[in-house]
Amino acid sequence: MPVELTAPIPATAKAEPRLPGDPDLWFLILAELLTFGMFFVAYVGYRAMETEVFNASQLTLDRTLGVINTLFLLTSSWAVVSAVRAARANHSQQVPRYLALAILLGLSFMVVKYFEYSAKFAAGISLNTDTFFNFYFALTMIHLGHVIGGTVVLTVIWSNARKGACHAGNMRGIESGATFWHLVDLLWIFLFPLLYLLR
């Protein structure tokens, strides 16, 4: 069982302003946001030039699967927030349970994406089909890479949490992993409406 070296951090503490996790990570987050931001704007710009192509190709996507994956990522972010809160409260047994749920939802996202890609490839649709699919495959594959990376990070933290390593006195690792996971969620919050819904 963990030795609780630090008092729990009250959830309502009026503490000094701080960034969760490793401060250096936030520069990576900013770089990611600037890069993806340019892609998002470029997508809308190219769509304006080839609206008919984008609208027609978009209709071949399965919107229901897109919504399901959005719900998976939103809920996994909630689970990660809950894991961080449990760690701060020194409820060390709850931390791995919430993380396991988040990891399971991350894996579910990958499974849905696998079926989506398979259906497209089976229909002869690929990255080179048209401008819409250039964006669709490039953006979702880069994003999927982030989902895979984030799930690996969460799995490492889960393994440590099972040994009782995530508590109020040792928050940096779990906060860093959580922040990256929320970035993955945030990027999908843009990708889903742009690729699946925008008419």
Dihedral angle of Cα 9, 161, 163, 24, to the nearest 10 degrees: -80
Q: How far is the CB of 94 from other proteins (least distance, A)?
A: 14
Q: Which of residues 37-76 bind other proteins (CB under 8 A)?
A: 37, 40-41, 44-45, 47-51, 63, 67, 70-71, 74-75
Report the residue number, 85 or 164, with the smaller CB distance to other proteins.
85
Q: How far is the CB of 77 from other proteins (least distance, A)?
A: 5
* CB distance 77 to 129 below 8 Å: no
Interface with other proteins (CB under 8 A), residue from 2, 8, 22, 33 = 33
Displacement of CA 35 from its chain's centroid (Å): 16
Q: What radius of gyration do the chain's Cα atoms show?
A: 19
Report the C-alpha gap between 134 and 108 in whole angstroms.
24
Q: Any contact of residue 137 with other proteins (CB under 8 A)? A: no
Q: Any contact of residue 196 with other proteins (CB under 8 A)? A: yes
Displacement of CA 138 from its chain's centroid (Å): 17
* CB distance 96 to 126 below 8 Å: no
Determine the size of the site formed for other proteins (CB under 8 A): 45
Report the C-alpha gap between 102 and 100 in whole angstroms.
5
Among 156, 147, 134, which residue's Cα sits nearest to residue 185?
147
Q: Any contact of residue 176 with other proteins (CB under 8 A)? A: no
Interface with other proteins (CB under 8 A), residue from 1, 17, 24, 128 = 17
Interface with other proteins (CB under 8 A), residue from 125, 165, 171, 183 = 183
Which residues have a Cβ under 8 Å from the Cβ of 68 and sit 6 or more positions away?
112
Report the residue number, 99 or 183, with the smaller CB distance to other proteins.
183
* Encoded amino acid at 178, one letter: A
Q: Which stretch binds other proteins (CB under 8 A): 32-40, 110-118, 141-149, 150-158?
A: 32-40
Q: Any contact of residue 12 with other proteins (CB under 8 A)? A: no
Report the C-alpha gap between 88 and 58 in whole angstroms.
43
Summarize as ranges the residues that interact with other proteins (CB under 8 A).
15, 17-20, 26, 29-30, 33-34, 37, 40-41, 44-45, 47-51, 63, 67, 70-71, 74-75, 77-78, 80-82, 85, 179, 182-183, 185-186, 189-190, 192-193, 196-199
